[in-house]
Amino acid sequence: QKEVEQDPGPLSVPEGAIVSLNCTYSNSAFQYFMWYRQYSRKGPELLMYTYSSGNKEDGRFTAQVDKSSKYISLFIRDSQPSDSATYLCAMIRSGNTGKLIFGQGTTLQVKP
Amino acid sequence: GAVVSQHPSRVICKSGTSVKIECRSLDFQATTMFWYRQFPKQSLMLMATSNEGSKATYEQGVEKDKFLINHASLTLSTLTVTSAHPEDSSFYICSASGLAGSGTDTQYFGPGTRLTVL
């Protein structure tokens, strides 16, 4: 079993839709949670960073962490064609400085 | 802020040659740099972690003599793929962390280097 599970998709939505991306994990030691966006043939770009449980909002993006369920989500409101990319969740264990554990990534396509 | 660059962005080489990839943090001092490899339609796989002035820590299954990492300064790390073979063809991505005052382990990624070994 992988430490971090993420549905690879692809996920296709119409422009303007609300997108929900999710990851589950098995290790309760994970404390830091990130979402990265990666365009084709480019490096990942940090979108959201959260520590422990709770919500964080930044513009059209909202990240949620539910540690009791070992489940994290990224919501994208008013999705745009430019949001079409692969979204990677990543997390770090408490006390394990720097070592990111990535999900497989979900490919999102927003159709105009 | 938090810009990481990589050079070259793309390299094609013959089998048996060595290739050096540079990773630079442009606007912050990176106490730690990471090297990842990504195969098509797969996630990033950590190869090694390097701290400035010390030897890199390699992940299990990564040959340290084949993938030489040098982290000579707080803004530069290099990855040298020695005696490259076609199976080494991949997308190599570095990241850096150590943003002053952040108090976090946030990593910022470079744009990646696509290596093709003929």
**What is the mean pLDDT of the segment spanning B96-109?**
66
User: B75-100: per-residue pLDDT in tens?
Assistant: 999 999 999 999 999 999 999 987 54
In angstroms, the CA B118 to CA B112 distance is: 19
Q: How far is B20 from chain A (nearest CA, A)?
A: 18
User: A75-88: per-residue pLDDT in tens?
Assistant: 999 999 999 999 99
Residue B62 has pLDDT above 60, yes or no: yes
Which residues does residue B76 pair with via DSSP β-bridges, in sequence order?
A: B24, B73
Contact yes or no for A78/A60 (Cβ under 8 A): yes
Residue A19 has pLDDT above 90, yes or no: yes
Give the model's confidence band at B102: pLDDT under 50 very low, under 70 low, under 90 confident, else very high: very low
Measured CA angle at A39 (ends A34, A44), to 5 deg: 35
Cα distances from B92 to residues A32, B56, B73, B78, B118, in angstroms, run 24, 16, 20, 11, 17
User: A24-73: per-residue pLDDT in tens?
Assistant: 999 888 888 999 999 988 999 999 988 878 899 999 999 999 999 999 99
A44/B111 Cβ within 8 A: no
**Residues above pLDDT 70, as percent of chain B:** 93
Q: How far is B17 from chain A (nearest CA, A)?
A: 24
A41/B109 Cβ within 8 A: no
